[in-house]
A = this chain, B = another copy of it.
C-alpha cells in the first residue's frame, strides 16, 4: 500500500481522533484541512505561500484537469506534483462532483457519465475505469472512487438505485486501480441523511480492503444540524484504523463539529472562495472587509492571527485593496483564510492530544456561531 495510517490517540470525551497518514510525498498529521487546487493551483497563491502556511496536502480536481491541460500532458510532464511544483502530498477527486455540478448535457448510465465540457462544449465520458485511469496518470497520493453524488432532496427510490450503482462502480474502480502504484484509492459512502441507507452503503463500500474511506453527499443543501447528526452516525461506521475523509465540508464550525465525530480529513473551497469575495474568518467572527466601518481601522484583520496579512497590514488598507479591486487583495485574503482553517486544525490536534477536545469545540462554537454552513464545489 502506498499509504498507511496510524491512529495515535482518541480524545477521552469525544470521538475526535489524532492520526498520522504516511504517503509517498510525506506525512500528514490529522485531523487536517486540505486547500483545494482546482485546476492545478490553489487560487491566488503559489507553492511558496502554501509552504509558509504549513499546508500538508492539497487537492486537484480531475474534472478540471482532464479538460485543461489534460491528464495526458500532465502525465507526460512527470505527473501533477512535478507539473505544479508541489512536492508534498496531493489528493485528486474522481471528477464526479463537478460532472454533476458544472458539466452540460450530462447523462448517467450504468457505464458512466457522458457530458459536455463547460469550457467549450466538447463531449467526454467519465466512468469508474476512466476516472481511475486519469487519477493514476495525474499520480496523486490519494485518489477517489468514481461515485454518484445524488442531488439534495432526491427521492428515496432514486437514492437506493444510485447507491447500488455507486457500489457496483466501486467494484470497477478497485479493478482499475493498481494497489502497488503510488496512488491510494479511497471508497466513498453515500446515503444522504438516511441512517439505514448510510449503514447499508458503508457495509457495501467498506467490504473492500481500501487504504481509506470518505463520506460524500454532505453540505449539498441539508441543514448543518442534519449534517452533524448524520456525520456523527456515519463516521463510526467506517473502519477505525483507516483515515476518514468528509468531502466538500465546510465552515470552521462544520470542521470542528465533525472532527468531534471522528473525521480525519476535510476539503472545501470555502476559505479560498470567500476570501476572493472579501469574507474573512477571524477570532472575532466574520469580517466583510469592504464594509465602510473598516475605512479608518488601523488594527490588524485578526489580532490573534500570525499570518503575513495580519502581521503586516491594517483593515483600512485591506479594505482599500479590495474596494480598488487590486489583485493582491485576492492573495492576502486567501493567505489569511487558509491560515485560519489550517490553524484551526492544528489547534484541534493539540486539543485532542490533551483530551480537551470538548472545550475546544465550545470555543469554536462561541467564535463562529454566526457563520453560515458551507457549500462545496
Contact = CB atoms under 8 A, between A and B. Distances in A.
A317 B74 CA distance: 9
A295 B327 contact: no
A85 B331 contact: no
A46 to B, nearest CB: 5
B316 A85 contact: no
Interface residues of A, number: 38
A109 interface: no
Contacts of A78: 298
Contacts of A9: none
Interface stretch (A37-45, A184-192, A252-260): A37-45
A332 B327 CA distance: 12
B320 A327 contact: no
A374 to B, nearest CB: 21
A366 interface: no
A327 B330 contact: yes
B46 A332 contact: yes
Q: Which of A69, A296, A308 has the most CB of B within 10 A?
A: A69
A317 B40 contact: yes
Contacts of A73: 295-296, 316
A68 B323 contact: yes
A312 interface: yes
Interface in A301-322: 308, 312-314, 316-317, 320-321
Contacts of A120: none
Interface in A7-43: 39-41, 43
Given A298-B77, A331-B327, A317 B43 contact: no
A83 interface: yes
B295 A326 contact: no
A328 interface: yes
Interface of A: 39-41, 43-48, 68-69, 73, 76-78, 83-85, 276, 295-296, 298, 308, 312-314, 316-317, 320-321, 323-324, 326-328, 330-332
Closest 3 interchain pairs by CB? Answer: A44-B327, A41-B326, A69-B320
